[in-house]
Chain A
Amino acid sequence: MGIIKIEKAGKNFSLGKTIIHALKGVSLEIGKGEFMAIVGPSGSGKSTLLNLIGCIERPSSGTVMIDGTDIGSLSPDELAEIRSSRLGFIFQSFNLLPVLTVAENVEYPLHLGGGEKRTRAEKVAGVLKEVGLERFSSHKPAELSGGQRQRVAIARALVGSPSIILADEPTANLDHRTGEEILNLMKDINRKMGATFVFSTHDPKIMNIADRMVELRDGEITFDHVS
Chain B
Amino acid sequence: MYLRLAFRNIFRNKVRSLITLGAISFGCISLIIAGGFIENTFIQLRESYIRSFLGHIQVYKKGFLEQGVARPFDFMISNPDEVIKKITDHPHVVAATPRLEFSGLLSTGETTVSFIGQGVNPKWENQISTFVQLEKGENLAEGDTYKTILGKGLSEALMAKAGDPLVLVANTKSGAINALDMEVKGVFFTSSKAYDDRALRVPVEVAQKLLHTDDIQTIVVLLDDTSETDAVIAGLNERFKKDGLDLEVKPWYDMADFYTKTVDLYKRQFFVLKLIIGIVVVLSVFNTMNMAILERIGEVGTIMALGTKRRGVVTLFLLEGLILGIVGGVIGVASGYLLAMLISYIGIPMPPPPGATIYWTAQIEMVPAIFAFAFVLAIVTSVVSSCYPAIKASRLEIAEALRHNI
Task: Say yes or no: B302 contacts A95, CB within 8 Å.
Answer: yes
Task: Say yes or no: A80 contacts B309, CB within 8 Å.
Answer: yes
A163 at interface by CB-CB < 8 Å = no
The smallest C-beta distance from B109 to any residue of chain A, in angstroms, reads 90
The smallest C-beta distance from B372 to any residue of chain A, in angstroms, reads 32
Closest A-chain residue to B395, C-beta based?
A76
A197 at interface by CB-CB < 8 Å = no
Task: Say yes or no: B306 contacts A56, CB within 8 Å.
Answer: no
Give Cα distance in the complex from A76 to B399, angstroms.
13
Task: Say yes or no: B399 contacts A99, CB within 8 Å.
Answer: no
B342 at interface by CB-CB < 8 Å = no
A-side contacts of B306, CB under 8 Å:
83-84, 89, 108-109, 112, 156
A-side contacts of B304, CB under 8 Å:
80
Closest A-chain residue to B302, C-beta based?
A95
- Give the A interface residue count (CB, 8 A): 30
B-side contacts of A95, CB under 8 Å:
298-299, 301-302, 305, 402, 405
The smallest C-beta distance from A135 to any residue of chain B, in angstroms, reads 22
Task: Say yes or no: A112 contacts B307, CB within 8 Å.
Answer: yes
A70 at interface by CB-CB < 8 Å = no
Give Cα distance in the complex from A93 to B302, angstroms.
11
Mostly helix, strand, loop or mixed at chain B's interface? helix
B14 at interface by CB-CB < 8 Å = no
Give Cα distance in the complex from A111 to B5, angstroms.
12
Task: Say yes or no: B402 contacts A108, CB within 8 Å.
Answer: no
A104 at interface by CB-CB < 8 Å = yes
A-side contacts of B299, CB under 8 Å:
95, 97
A-side contacts of B303, CB under 8 Å:
97, 108
A-side contacts of B309, CB under 8 Å:
76-77, 80-81
Task: Say yes or no: A97 contacts B5, CB within 8 Å.
Answer: yes
A92 at interface by CB-CB < 8 Å = yes
The smallest C-beta distance from B226 to any residue of chain A, in angstroms, reads 53
Contact with A along B309-337 (1 / 0, CB 8 A): 11010000000000000000000000000
The smallest C-beta distance from B296 to any residue of chain A, in angstroms, reads 9
Give Cα distance in the complex from A56 to B401, angstroms.
11
Task: Say yes or no: B406 contacts A89, CB within 8 Å.
Answer: no
- Beyond A100-B8, A112-B312, 11 additional contacts (C-beta under 8 Å) are A51-B398, A56-B399, A80-B308, A80-B309, A84-B306, A85-B307, A91-B302, A97-B302, A104-B1, A108-B1, A108-B303
Residues in chain A within 8 A of chain B (CB atoms):
47-48, 51, 54, 56-57, 76-77, 80-81, 83-85, 87, 89, 91-93, 95, 97-100, 104, 107-109, 111-112, 156
Top 8 nearest A-B pairs (CB, nearest first) are A84-B307, A99-B8, A95-B302, A111-B1, A83-B307, A93-B405, A80-B309, A56-B398
